[in-house]
């Protein structure tokens, strides 16, 4: 296929592009604004064209989509919940308005398939059981509210204009190339350096962990076999409280639990996510990587790839980290 992958220089997007090029032989063009989270290094081993541009920039989008593609896959987003709490504007601009601009170009150019990458966070928090695709949308954070807005705009383009859209709602991803503002790489890199491990609140919030390659395979199933206008949940095989994730990382890096520091909780923190994935399983997808195996592989990847994270830790990330956690943790 010939694919336009928006946000393909970020964590999940670049892993997806790698899968598509290597396993499917696709021709891929990446459109990416190259925010702090978009990195050329994430694609440097691949032969893909990288177009630097924002999905909310109608001219850039028109030029890119106008090249003609079999499908557009949209990963482009502001993605970090904590950053959305301190500055929601960019989230509205990219996750809502950008999605609309991209859909508009896809519609004008009769793109045969539009895939929106979304999140389990649109459903909010669940104490027991699991979310299905029919669960009410009850986002809690500015991040998840803007992702919900994006999803609703996508659905409107299916119902109103007949654009063949599908939406993939993934649970918490982890794996290579994840920017270290997120829980797992943050804890891994802090543990490597013997730095404190900042656990929000009581650490008993539960996340449904999904290895990034499993998410990519799920997206490919939906891209090829999903029904137009439908939503597909793609959830990880295991749920785990944050504190257990941190303790596993401590064990894998040969540290001890004195590194754990309980810090002020995230405002509006969702307690538990749990995603039912029966619908995508019916398309033939199954998660292949268990959490223990995926976490070990992930820690090893960060151990082997200091060239990738060393420049990040000394740049914008350092300022963000000090602002968010305070110098005391550094």
DSSP code per residue over 166-234: EEEEE--EESTT--TTSHHHHHHHHHHHT--EEEETTS--EEEEEEHHHHHHHHHHHHHHPPTT-EEEE
Q: List Cβ neighbours of 311 (8 Å cut-off, separation of 6 or more).
A: none
Q: How far apart are alpha carbons 248 and 150 in whole angstroms?
A: 35
Q: Which of 172, 139, 149, 168 is nearest to 11 (CA)?
A: 172
- For residue 50, the 8-state DSSP code is E
- Which of 32, 78, 104, 121 is catalytic? The answer is 121
Nearer to ligand DAU by Cβ, of 142 and 198: the residue is 198
Q: Check binding of 34 to ligand NAD (CB under 6 A).
A: yes
Task: Say whether 244 is catalytic.
Answer: no
Q: Choose which of 7, 142, 149, 216 interacts with ligand NAD (CB under 6 A).
A: 7
Q: How far is the CB of 170 from ligand NAD (least distance, A)?
A: 3
Residue 32 binding: pick among ligand NAD, ligand DAU, none (C-beta 5-8 Å cut-off by kind) = ligand NAD
CA 23 to chain centre: 21
- Which of 123, 143, 211, 232 is catalytic? The answer is 143
Q: Check binding of 79 to ligand NAD (CB under 6 A).
A: yes
- Which of 32, 78, 104, 120 is catalytic? The answer is 120
* In contact, 249 and 187? CB cutoff 8 Å: yes
| 3 state DSSP class of 32 | strand
Q: How far apart are alpha carbons 160 and 155 in whole angstroms?
A: 8
Q: Which of 109, 111, 80, 115 is nearest to 94 (CA)?
A: 80
Task: Say whether 143 is catalytic.
Answer: yes
Residue 243 backbone dihedrals phi, psi, to 5 degrees: -65, -35
* In contact, 325 and 263? CB cutoff 8 Å: yes
> Over the Cα atoms of the chain, what is R_g?
19
Q: How far is the CB of 322 from ligand DAU (least distance, A)?
A: 13
Binding site for ligand DAU (CB under 6 A): 79-81, 119-121, 171-172, 182-183, 186, 198-200, 205, 207, 242, 266, 273
Q: Choose which of 19, 29, 35, 298 interacts with ligand NAD (CB under 6 A).
A: 35
Q: How far is the CB of 59 from ligand DAU (least distance, A)?
A: 28
Q: Check binding of 287 to ligand NAD (CB under 6 A).
A: no
Q: How far is the CB of 13 from ligand DAU (least distance, A)?
A: 12
Q: Check binding of 239 to ligand NAD (CB under 6 A).
A: no
Question: Between 49 and 78, how does the x/- string for binding to ligand NAD read (CB under 6 A)?
Answer: -----xxx------------------xxxx
Nearer to ligand NAD by Cβ, of 62 and 261: the residue is 62
Nearer to ligand DAU by Cβ, of 111 and 280: the residue is 280
Q: Which residues are catalytic?
A: 120-121, 143
For ligand NAD, the binding residues (CB under 6 A) are: 6-7, 9-13, 32-35, 37-38, 54-56, 75-79, 94, 98, 117, 119, 147, 170, 172-173, 179
């Amino acid at each position: 296929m010939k694919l336009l992958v928006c946000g393909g220089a970020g964590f999940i997007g670049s892993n997806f592009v790698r899968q598509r090029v290597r396993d499917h032989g696709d021709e891929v063009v990446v459109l990416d604004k190259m925010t702090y989270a978009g990195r050329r290094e994430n694609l440097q081993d691949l032969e893909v064209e990288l177009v630097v541009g924002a999905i909310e920039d109608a001219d850039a989008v028109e030029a890119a989509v106008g090249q003609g593609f079999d499908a557009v896959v949209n990963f482009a987003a502001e993605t970090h919940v904590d950053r959305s709490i301190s500055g929601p504007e960019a989230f509205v601009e990219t996750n809502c308005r950008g999605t609309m601009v991209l859909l508009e170009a896809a519609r004008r150019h009769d793109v045969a398939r539009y895939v929106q990458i979304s999140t389990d966070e649109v459903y909010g928090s669940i104490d027991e059981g699991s979310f299905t695709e029919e669960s009410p949308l009850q986002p809690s954070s500015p991040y998840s509210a803007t992702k919900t807005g994006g999803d609703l705009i996508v659905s409107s383009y299916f119902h109103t204009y007949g654009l063949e859209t599908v939406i993939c709602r993934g649970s918490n991803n982890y794996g290579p190339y994840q920017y270290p503002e997120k829980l797992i790489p943050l804890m891994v890199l802090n543990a490597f350096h013997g730095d404190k491990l900042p656990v929000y609140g009581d650490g008993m919030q539960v996340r449904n962990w999904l290895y990034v390659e499993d998410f990519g395979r799920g997206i490919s199933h939906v891209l090829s076999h999903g029904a137009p206008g439908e939503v597909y949940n793609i959830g990880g095989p295991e749920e785990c409280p944050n504190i257990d994730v941190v303790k596993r990382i401590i064990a894998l890096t040969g540290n001890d639990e004195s590194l754990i520091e309980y810090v002020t909780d995230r405002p509006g923190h969702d307690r538990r996510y749990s995603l039912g994935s029966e619908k995508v399983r019916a398309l033939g997808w199954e998660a292949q990587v268990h959490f223990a195996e995926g976490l070990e592989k992930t820690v090893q990847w960060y151990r082997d790839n200091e060239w990738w994270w060393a420049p990040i830790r000394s740049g914008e990330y350092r300022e963000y980290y000090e602002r968010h956690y305070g110098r005391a943790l550094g």
